[in-house]
């Protein structure tokens, strides 16, 4: 957290050294004395060769780009007990559909720890109701046929509230990345699933061995055993060296530090399943698969319009049931809706970027988006959700995962704020 | 090679392929030993079939609750502390602590909320004590589970928990479910007719 200022200083030092390198003048030659190779106060070498190596090896973004994750507004991360850690993706600054790995959201209830797992020692086991239990090293998994797919992950806690200020606060517990790994179906077929099996239990290697039950039908459909994310190995906060991807299911199913899958013949109600217990099975149903859901990222809460004229309204749409087919925009608080344009490929269980050409007349208005997925299911407004549950809109809390429409209020001075009341 | 011999060879090859339809395609990875599987397999089914031998009572659990440091985070009385409430309070004293996420209070104490007693055993076994996860012996996990079930009025103080008795405990929220009414299928909405 407090590494930022230091990084900044580091950047400036590097810049100065690079300038010296580029000039290659007599003064730079005279600077290459043993004295100048003494490490700087921040521990970084002043040796031009060393600095060049740092600049070449792993790039940094521009110092003018400052977008960062922030903790969930109501809580500290980690919390006062040191266990709950929720940080939000800066969706207001996002472009396209890929979330940079450094900005991908993180949510955990058992420690902000990042287990340090040596990939050469990590093992992944498939056992239970299979003909041939199997253990894989990471190298062995990488020998198998792989796929790369783009999928979002969303936390069940991604729930917009009136007190939230920005789209990072309201919707920042969703992110989208390219995931690379072995289809779980391939691994299960290799092990030979026995008849009578109906569920799998997946488990991580961290302290509490976090574990979830997943229907076998889903496991055989589109789940991935991933080692890659956005073109490089998974980040430690995202489960390095191995994680399970259960596309479209709530975040808690995407088991990090994956070490074991047991094929079983019933629902196990293990460690992470317990939180889904609900008196109403209809509500329980809304805690597994996500969406359809969309949100406008520009103009969104906390942003400032620079005056009347042309703007592209843009945002993200996603569904746990498949691809996004349609996004509509309202600029009059939901009285009329107009088709937006999909600005990115629309992959199954992925964020899709939408855009809508808009001439703002400078008057106060409320902008909102709603999406329809490949099943034809349309994202509801809060009023529609309240009507389904037969509850008054006043003080209504959407049961299960909240996928309702998010309104943003644009004031006549161009200030944008949360339109939820 | 004579034509009949060739035909026979083709037939054998062909049969071999049919026979190998159930065999591994890639042959990558190795078979774990039974000991390796046992060491790793900490999953506990609601019917308790993976429960290890051992036993424990609420009285033993009460001592372990202090010895193992449970009281330090969950409170001496099992409520009103930083960590999730474990024993439903009598409701006369209000906690001064904020309920941290995930908020577990008198409304969803695990021993009353869980449909199966095995879930408590599994939770303690894999997740407790904080910082020393996975160090409890089966007898200790049985005893701590018995302690929580007794203190919440689910079993008698004299009841001994073991691999036979634990799955048979009749839990107050036995009907509690975490599952949708319909099984998951490709291309289905999460709740039919939900907007």
What's the pLDDT score for residue A214?
Answer: 96
How big is chain A by its Cα radius of gyration, in Å?
A: 24
Contact between residue A319 and residue A292 where contact means Cβ atoms under 8 Å apart: yes
What's the pLDDT score for residue A287?
Answer: 87
Residue A150 has pLDDT above 50, yes or no: yes
Nearest to B191 among A143, A270, A286 (CB): A286
For B24, nearest residue in chain A (alpha carbons): A190
Please tell me the distance from the alpha carbon of residue A135 to that of residue A117, in angstroms, as a whole number.
17
Tens-place pLDDT, residues A291-315: 899 999 999 999 999 999 999 999 9
Give SS3 for B102.
coil
Which residues fall within 8 angstroms of residue A99, CB to CB, at 6 or more apart? A89, A105, A175, A176, A177
CB of A125 less than 8 A from some CB of B: yes
Shortest Cα distance, chain B CAs vs residue A359, angstroms: 31
Please tell me the distance from the alpha carbon of residue B34 to that of residue B15, in angstroms, as a whole number.
32
8 Å CB contact of A285 and B24 = no
CB of A194 less than 8 A from some CB of B: no
Give SS3 for B132.
coil
Contact between residue A140 and residue A238 where contact means Cβ atoms under 8 Å apart: no
Residue B188 has pLDDT above 50, yes or no: yes
Contacts of B195 in chain A (CB under 8 A): 377-380, 384-385, 388
Considering only CA atoms, which of A69, A92, A67, A99 is closest in space to residue A298?
A92
Chain centroid offset of residue A344 CA: 17
- Selected residue of A122, A184, A201, A268 to mutate for chain B interface (largest B Cβ count, 10 A): A268
Instruction: Report the range of poorest mean pLDDT among A64-68, A94-98, A194-198, B1-5.
Output: B1-5
8 Å CB contact of B29 and A190 = yes
Tens-place pLDDT, residues A199-240: 999 999 999 999 999 999 999 999 999 999 999 999 999 999
Domain ranges of chain A: 3-57, 123-277, 293-418
User: What is the CATH number that goes with domain A123-277?
Assistant: 3.90.420.10
Give SS3 for A374.
coil
Nearest to B184 among A211, A217, A385 (CB): A217
Tens-place pLDDT, residues B70-84: 999 999 999 988 888
CB of B49 less than 8 A from some CB of A: no
Please tell me the distance from the alpha carbon of residue B91 to that of residue B133, in angstroms, as a whole number.
31
8 Å CB contact of B25 and A207 = no
Residues 362-401 on A with a CB inside 8 Å of B are 374-375, 377-380, 384-385, 388
Q: Phi and psi of A378, rounded to 5°?
A: -105, 140
Which residues fall within 8 angstroms of residue B9, CB to CB, at 6 or more apart? B1
Tens-place pLDDT, residues A345-370: 999 999 999 999 999 999 999 999 99
Are β-strands A224-229 and A232-233 bridged in parallel, bridged antiparallel, or unpaired? antiparallel
Angle at the Cα of A173 from the Cα atoms of A237 and A110, rounded to 5 degrees: 45
Shortest Cα distance, chain B CAs vs residue A325, angstroms: 14
The CATH architecture of the domain made up of A293-418 is Sandwich (2.60)
Across all residues in chain A, what is the average pLDDT?
Answer: 89
Considering only CA atoms, which of B155, B110, B154 is closest in space to residue A273?
B110
8 Å CB contact of B42 and A127 = no
Residue A274 or residue A335, greater confidence: A335
Residue A25 has pLDDT above 80, yes or no: no
- A339: number of Cβ within 10 Å: 11
Nearest to B195 among A84, A264, A385 (CB): A385
For B177, nearest residue in chain A (alpha carbons): A277
Tens-place pLDDT, residues A74-132: 667 777 677 788 899 999 999 999 999 999 999 988 776 788 999 999 999 999 999 99
Please tell me the distance from the alpha carbon of residue A403 to that of residue A141, in angstroms, as a whole number.
36
Dihedral sign from CA coordinates of B124, B125, B130, B136? positive
Please tell me the distance from the alpha carbon of residue B110 to that of residue B173, in angstroms, as a whole number.
10
Shortest Cα distance, chain B CAs vs residue A209, angstroms: 6
CB of B187 less than 8 A from some CB of A: yes
For A208, nearest residue in chain B (alpha carbons): B127
Considering only CA atoms, which of B102, B31, B38 is closest in space to residue A277?
B102
């Amino acid at each position: 957290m407090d590494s930022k200022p230091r990084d900044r200083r580091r950047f400036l030092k590097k810049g100065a050294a690079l300038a010296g390198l580029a000039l290659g003048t007599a003064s730079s030659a005279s600077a290459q004395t043993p004295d100048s190779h003494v490490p700087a106060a921040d521990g970084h070498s002043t040796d031009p060769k060393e600095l060049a190596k740092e600049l070449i090896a792993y790039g940094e973004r521009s110092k003018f780009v400052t977008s960062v994750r922030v903790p969930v507004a109501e809580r500290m991360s980690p919390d006062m007990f040191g266990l709950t850690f929720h940080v939000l993706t800066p969706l207001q600054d996002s472009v396209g559909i890929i979330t940079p790995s450094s900005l991908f959201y993180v949510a955990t209830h058992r420690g902000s720890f990042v287990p340090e797992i040596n990939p050469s020692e990590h093992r992944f086991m498939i056992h239970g109701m299979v003909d041939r239990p199997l253990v894989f090293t990471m190298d062995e998994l990488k020998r198998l046929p792989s796929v790369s797919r783009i999928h979002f992950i969303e936390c069940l806690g991604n729930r917009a509230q009136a007190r939230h200020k920005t789209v990072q606060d309201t919707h920042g517990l969703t992110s989208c990345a390219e995931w690379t790994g072995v289809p779980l179906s391939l691994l299960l077929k290799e092990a030979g699933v026995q008849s009578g099996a109906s569920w799998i239990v997946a488990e991580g290697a961290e302290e509490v061995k976090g574990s979830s039950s997943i229907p076998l039908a889903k496991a055989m459909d589109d789940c991935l055993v991933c080692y890659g994310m956005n073109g490089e190995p998974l980040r430690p906060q995202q489960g390095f060296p191995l994680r399970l991807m259960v596309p479209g299911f709530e975040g808690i199913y995407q088991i990090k530090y994956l070490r074991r899958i047991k094929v079983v013949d019933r629902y196990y109600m293990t460690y992470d399943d317990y939180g889904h217990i609900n008196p109403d099975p209809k509500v329980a149903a809304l805690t597994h698969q996500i969406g359809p859901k969309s949100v406008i990222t520009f103009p969104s809460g906390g942003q400032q319009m620079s005056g009347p004229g042309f703007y592209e309204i843009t945002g993200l749409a996603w569904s746990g049931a498949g691809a996004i087919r349609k996004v509509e925009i309202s600029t009059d608080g939901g009285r009329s809706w107009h088709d937006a344009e999909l600005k990115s490929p629309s992959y199954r269980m992925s964020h899709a970027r939408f855009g809508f050409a808009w001439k703002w007349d400078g008057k106060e208005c409320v902008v909102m988006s709603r999406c329809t997925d490949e099943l034809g299911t349309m994202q509801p407004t809060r009023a529609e959700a309240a009507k389904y549950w037969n509850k008054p809109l006043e003080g209504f809390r959407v049961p299960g995962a909240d996928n309702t429409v998010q309104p943003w209020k644009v004031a006549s001075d161009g200030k944008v704020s949360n339109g939820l009341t | 090679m004579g034509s009949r011999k060739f035909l026979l060879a083709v037939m054998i090859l062909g049969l071999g392929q049919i026979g190998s339809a159930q065999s591994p395609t890639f042959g990558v990875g190795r078979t774990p030993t039974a000991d390796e599987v046992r060491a790793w397999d900490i999953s506990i089914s609601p019917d308790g079939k993976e429960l290890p031998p051992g036993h424990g009572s609420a009285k033993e659990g009460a001592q372990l609750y202090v010895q193992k440091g449970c009281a330090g985070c969950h409170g001496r009385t099992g409520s009103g502390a930083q960590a999730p409430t474990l024993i439903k309070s009598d409701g006369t004293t209000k906690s001064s602590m904020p309920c941290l996420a995930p908020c577990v209070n008198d409304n969803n104490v695990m021993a009353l909320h869980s449909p199966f007693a095995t879930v408590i055993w599994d939770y303690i076994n894999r997740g407790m004590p904080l910082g020393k996860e996975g160090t409890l012996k089966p007898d200790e996990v049985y005893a701590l589970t018995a302690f929580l079930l007794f203190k919440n009025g689910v079993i008698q103080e004299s009841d001994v928990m073991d691999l036979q008795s634990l799955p048979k405990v009749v839990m107050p929220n036995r009907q509690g479910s975490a599952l949708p009414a319909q099984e998951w299928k490709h291309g289905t909405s999460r709740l039919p007719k939900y907007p």
